[in-house]
Amino acid sequence: MKKFTNVADIGDINKALAEAAEIKRNRFAYTGLGRNKTLMMIFFNSSLRTRLSTQKAAMNLGMNVIVLDVNQGAWKLETERGVIMDGDKAEHLLEAIPVMGCYCDMIGVRSFAGLKDKAEDYEDRVIEQFIRYSGRPVFSMEAATRHPLQSFADLITIEEFKTKPRPKVVMTWAPHPRALPQAVPNSFAEWMNATDYDFVITHPEGYELDPKFVGNARVEYDQRKAFEGADFIYAKNWSAYTDPNYGKVLSTDRGWTVDAEKMALTDNAFFMHCLPVRRNMIVTDDVIESDRSIVIPEAANREISAQVVIKRLLESL
Ligand code: AN0
Ligand code: CP
């Protein structure tokens, strides 16, 4: 594997899941693999889980890790080519990327969608430039359109908790006060479509996702109907994708909050969320604290998904 930005990069899903299970049994089996190798993690946006789990995964493989928060201490970076740089940005990404590549063997990048220019976001310009100009294997730590380390961890988690061969997995939109990217739901849909689960997406009208990611999923606008018989409820907020509302918050209707009454419609479903989550907007306290909430094991699996990916990239060096 030379890069990791989407589900196709991981290849055979069952093989990847088997490798994840093997790593989970003994996460220190490959401590020699990363010896004298350096991972550079570049953050254009905040993070708790990705930062910690990815660093831990690299350490399990014996790597050295450098973390750079671009907005804290680095020069402000211009990302557009052709701009006359007479503003506040002191350095261009086109120099910064190859320079970063000089100091490491592998790069992880977090760069969210700006939610202003849909075409720019959906070209995933920042991470694509890292792939092109760094000279190193690159993996996504959430780019503009996808969050594949999260989706892989989500898949590992569903495999661990499912009690039927073909569970019903429901991804539900839920309210949030600020505009969030579509990366997590896009990516989750992409990975669910790579399985044979019964996959349903529910959201208010106006929150339709890019059909490329929706794929074969069933879209149900009635949240209660969608929840019926579900084995997993995967909650997430996202801002509008469709024009002319791209990047906008169209609703903060708490009628869409996941609560105990709606969970009672399911087949005793597990509750999932990638975190960070806003309680009593996305999900009520009692649901996230219930014994069917698996948000913590889900977060724990981020170490495992990251370790599979970093291990495969190390093996390709
Ligand atoms: C981000 C998002 O929705 O993409 C990161 C989630 C992993 N969430 C927030 O910014 C709150
Ligand atoms: N789920 C996730 O990626 O969390 P962070 O934004 O804290 O990294």
Termini Cα distance of the chain: 9
pLDDT value for 312: 98
Cβ–ligand 2 distance for 275 under 6 Å, the answer: yes
Which protein residue's CA is at the shortest distance from atom 9 of ligand 1? 180
Question: Which atom number of ligand 1 is nearest to the Cα of residue 147?
Answer: 7
Ligand 1: nearest atom to the Cα of 176 = 11
Residue nearest to atom 3 of ligand 1 (CA): 180
Burial 255-285 (b: 16+ CB within 10 A, else e): ebbbbeebbebbeebbbbbbeebeeebbbbe
| Closest listed ligand to the CA of 140 | 2
State yes or no: cis peptide before 276, omega within 30 of 0: yes
Q: How far is CA 197 from the centre of its chain?
A: 19
Q: How far is the CA of 230 from the centre of ligand 1 (A)?
A: 24
* Rounded distance between C-alpha atoms, residue 106 and residue 36, angstroms: 12
pTM: 0.98
pLDDT tens digits, one per residue of 3-37? 999 999 999 999 999 999 999 999 999 999 999 99
Per-residue pLDDT of 85-141, as tens digits, reads: 999 999 999 999 999 999 999 999 999 999 999 999 999 999 999 999 999 999 999
Query: Which ligand 2 atom minimizes the distance to the CA of 275?
Result: 1
- Does the beta carbon of 180 lie inside 6 Å of ligand 1? yes
CA of 75 to the centre of ligand 2 (A): 24
Tens of pLDDT, residue by residue over 282-307, are 999 999 999 999 999 999 999 999 99
Write the pLDDT tens digit of every residue in 52-61. Answer: 999 999 999 9
Q: Is 277 in the pocket of ligand 2 (CB under 6 A)?
A: no
Judge whether residue 65 has pLDDT over 90: yes
